[in-house]
Every structure is written in C-alpha cells, then in structure tokens.
Amino acid sequence: MTHTKSVLIVGGSGYLGSYLAKRLRDGYKVYATYFKKPAAIPGVSFIPMDVENRNWVKRVVYTTQPSVVIYVAGSNDMQEAEKNARNCERLHADGPTTLAGSTDIMQPRFIYLSNSYVFDGTKGNYHEQDTILPGTVLGRMKSGGENAMKSKCLNYIILRSSPTFGRSNGLNLSFFDRLRMTLDRGKRIELSTDELHAFAPLDGLCDLIIKLIGSGVKNRVLHYGGLTKMNHFEFGQAFAKRFGYDPNLVVARTASQNTDGQPLFDFSLNFTQAVDILKIKPFLLEEGFDLIEQQLIPKS
Ligand SMILES: NC(=O)c1ccc[n+]([C@@H]2O[C@H](COP(=O)([O-])OP(=O)(O)OC[C@H]3O[C@@H](n4cnc5c(N)ncnc54)[C@H](OP(=O)(O)O)[C@@H]3O)[C@@H](O)[C@H]2O)c1
C-alpha cells in the first residue's frame, strides 16, 4: 500500500515514540528517529538523529519531507531533569526550536508532546487556558518547547499529557515497565505519594494523536488524562491488585517535608476539551487496565 502522507516521529525509539510508530504505520509512511538505541519495527524507517546537530536535523527533514512531525524526544523523568538541567533544556526546549526552524519552509503539522509539570501543582484539574507557572526544571523546559511551537509554527498542536501507562519496546523502560518487572520478580518497590496525576493509558494517547493528525484542529493546546486521580503509590497498589501481585510489595515513599502524608502537589489535567472537540472517550483507571491486559497476557 502506498501512503501519501509521511510522519516523522522525533524520539521514535522511546517508550512513547515506538508505540506510536506501530499505531501509525498502517496509515502513514512512518520515519522514526533514534539517538543511542536503534530500534527495529517492521514498516517503520528508523534514522539516527541527535536534535543538537542542526545540519543533520535539516538533512533528515529534507529527506523525509514530513507532512506531520511528532516531537516525543527526551525523558519524562523529573528527577533526571533536576540532575541534568542543561541536557533537559537541549531536549525539551532547544530540540523543538531546531526542528521548528528546519521545517519553517514546508510548515508540516507539528505535534509537541508536553506534560503537566508546566503547572505549579497547587490546584489540579488544570484546563488548557489555566496560567502555566512551572516550578520544576522539566516544567520550565517544556514551557520553553511550547513557546517555540507558538512562535515558529503555523500549524501546531501542543499536547500536554498526564503520565501514561503501557508496555514499552524494552529499549527505554517506562515507569509502568519497572513496576511490572519488579513485582514479577516478587521484589518490593517504593513509589511516591507526593504528586497526584490523572494517569491514563498510552493507547488512548495514541488514539488522540491519530485523531488530531486527521482533524483540522490547529494552533491550540490540548490536555490528555484519565478520569481517576491518584499518586504513584496508589497507582502501583491498584495495578498489583488488578493483576494478581501482592499489593504489600508496593511501599509508600513520602518526601521529608510531607508531614501529614497527603500529596504535596496535584498535577492532574482536565481532558474535557479534547473529548468534546475530537469525540473521544476518557478512561477510568480500570478501563485503562482492561486495555493493557491484552498486551500483557501472552497469546497462546
Ligand atoms: N511517558 C509519558 O507518560 C509522557 C507523558 C507526558 C509527556 N511525555 C513526553 O514524551 C516524550 C517521550 O517520553 P518517553 O517516556 O517516551 O521517553 P523515553 O522512553 O525516554 O524516550 C526518549 C526518546 O528521546 C530520544 N533522545 C534522547 N536524547 C536525544 C537526542 N539528543 N536527540 C534525539 N533524540 C534523543 C531517545 O533516543 P534513544 O533511546 O535512541 O537514545 C528516545 O527515542 C518526552 O518529551 C516526555 O516528556 C511522556
């Protein structure tokens, strides 16, 4: 089958990028970039790319001629961002700026994956029009990436996603992989109680991106999240209970300044705008678990 539209996934070897590549390959010619870990997915063309190398980025863009660029490079790990702020800036703010600059003549549809750390976490249930006030390195750099979209692209979507759960390709492990693999080995895992999030399935995020690519929606910010708000510890316990692991293996880790054990921050995102505009379904946690059950149980 010949595809007329090509999609360039920057960060295509990652947890999110590789899953998205698999979901998109039937409808599009998919190019996916990797940095250090070459991935292989049938029907997807992988290209090495460092977003810091401007000349190479230009060559990739001119060779692939994408109708759609999806920027999912960089890690979503807040601790890693605090440890290496400069690297975080390169990936989440400078990288999108370079890509947007390199595509300015062709102006493809540009989807930038941001997150809920652009907010300060004091109120939760954040809507798209709420004022962003990042209090973390990762949040500040995401806000830098968002600004690059707004100032350089004529056809962009900034998609702020809550933490997603789903199985990775094994090259870049997600929080969910680490949880599952630790419980599989019968080991204890400490998970934080400090932040509330609207955890949501990765499949739902891919559905949303696929709908967005085909829609006329442009130059706006949209949120993605689930209907159930919880902290990482509660998520781990819910997962253990649902999939037959011992929930006592999931242990609460609470920050020292957190004296009453209540979450310090609420980063939950409100997903109603995307649901209304694109007519997609929001997920309760249990429904998200139903979706990933199909990936986890080996087919006999
Ligand atoms: N995971 C979530 O639930 C979630 C939620 C909201 C937003 N996001 C955002 O989505 C993006 C991807 O998250 P993820 O969890 O999929 O991360 P991940 O699994 O760690 O993947 C990161 C990707 O970035 C690539 N990369 C690293 N350094 C690079 C460089 N210098 N140049 C080009 N590519 C580079 C990696 O390539 P190699 O592996 O080949 O080195 C990999 O493909 C992040 O921006 C994150 O903030 C994720």
Question: What is the rounded distance in angstroms from the CA atom of residue 82 to the CA atom of residue 85?
Answer: 6
Judge whether 66 lies within some domain.
yes
CATH number of the domain residue 71 falls in: 3.40.50.720
Supply the pLDDT for residue 45.
Answer: 97
Structural domain includes residue 53: yes
Q: 239 — phi, psi (to 5°)?
A: -65, -45
Residues 35-48: what's their mean pLDDT? 96
Say if 263 falls within a structural domain: no
* Whether pLDDT at 297 is above 80: no
* 74 in contact with ligand 1, CB cutoff 6 A: yes
* Per-residue model confidence (pLDDT) at position 3: 66
Four-point Cα dihedral 126, 129, 132, 138, nearest 10: 70
Asked if 158 and 222 count as a contact pair (C-beta separation under 8 A), the reply is: yes
**Phi–psi pair at 213, nearest 5 degrees:** -60, -40
Q: Is residue 238 part of a domain?
A: no
What distances in angstroms separate CA 251 from CA 234, 246, 255, one per listed residue? 10, 11, 13
pLDDT of residue 296: 64
Using pLDDT thresholds of 50, 70 and 90, give the confidence band for residue 22: very high
pLDDT at 294 (0 to 100): 80
Whether 18 is in the pocket of ligand 1, judged by its Cβ within 6 Å, is no
The predicted-structure confidence for 100-147, as pLDDT tens digits, reads as follows: 999 999 999 999 999 999 999 999 999 999 999 999 999 999 999 999
The SS3 assignment for 34 reads strand
Cα of 51 from ligand 1 centre, angstroms: 12
**pLDDT, tens digit, for every residue of 222-256?**
999 999 999 999 999 999 999 999 999 999 988 76
Q: Which of 212, 111, 224 is nearest to 160 (CA)?
A: 224
Distance from the alpha carbon of residue 250 to the mean position of ligand 1, in angstroms:
26
pLDDT value for 118: 98
57 closest CA partner among 87, 85, 35, 36: 35
Rounded Cα–Cα distance for residues 7 and 93 (Å):
21
Check if 73 has its Cβ closer than 6 Å to any atom of ligand 1: yes
Percent of the chain with pLDDT over 90: 88
Ligand 1 probe mutation, 52, 69, 76, most atoms within 8 A of CB: 76
d(CA 238, CA 247): 8
Instruction: Give which of 223, 228, 220 is closest to 208, Cα–Cα.
Output: 223
pLDDT of residue 2: 63
Query: How many Å lie between the centroid of ligand 1 and the Cα of residue 113?
Result: 10
Coil/strand/helix, residue 245: coil
Angle at 10 between CA 61 and CA 106, to 5 degrees: 30
3-state DSSP call for residue 253? strand
User: pLDDT-based confidence at 192, cuts 50/70/90?
Assistant: very high
Q: Which of 72, 87, 102 to probe ligand 1 with, by most ligand atoms within 8 A of CB?
A: 72
User: Does the pLDDT at position 204 exceed 60?
Assistant: yes
In-domain check, residue 184: no
For the Cβ of 37 lying below 6 angstroms from any atom of ligand 1, the answer is yes
Domain count, the chain: 1
Q: Which atom of ligand 1 is closest in space to residue 38's alpha carbon? A: 40
Report pLDDT for 262.
Answer: 74
Distance CA 223, CA 17 (A): 18
Distance CA 150, CA 153 (A): 6
Would you state the pLDDT for residue 14? 96
Structure tokens at 148: 């690059």
Model confidence at 263, pLDDT cuts 50, 70, 90, reads confident
Protein residue with its CA nearest to atom 24 in ligand 1: 73
| 299 pLDDT above the threshold of 60 | no
Containing structural domain, residue 136: 6-166+200-227+269-284
Q: Name the least confident of 56-60, 260-264, 276-280, 286-290.
A: 260-264
Helix residue ranges, H only, the chain: 15-24, 54-64, 78-83, 85-89, 95-102, 137-152, 175-184, 202-214, 232-242, 272-278, 285-296
Asked if 273 and 280 touch (Cβ cutoff 8 Å), the reply is: no
Dihedral over alpha carbons 249, 255, 260, 265 (to 10 degrees) = -100
Query: What is the band of 293 on the pLDDT scale with cuts at 50, 70, 90?
Result: confident
Cα–Cα dist 204/110, whole Å:
19
- Residue 27 pLDDT greater than 70, yes or no: yes
Q: How far apart are CA 42 and CA 22, in angstroms?
A: 8
297, part of any domain: no
162 in a domain, yes or no?
yes
Tell me, yes or no, whether 50 lies in a domain: yes
**For all residues of the chain together, what is the average pLDDT?**
94
Confidence band of 170 (pLDDT split at 50, 70, 90): confident
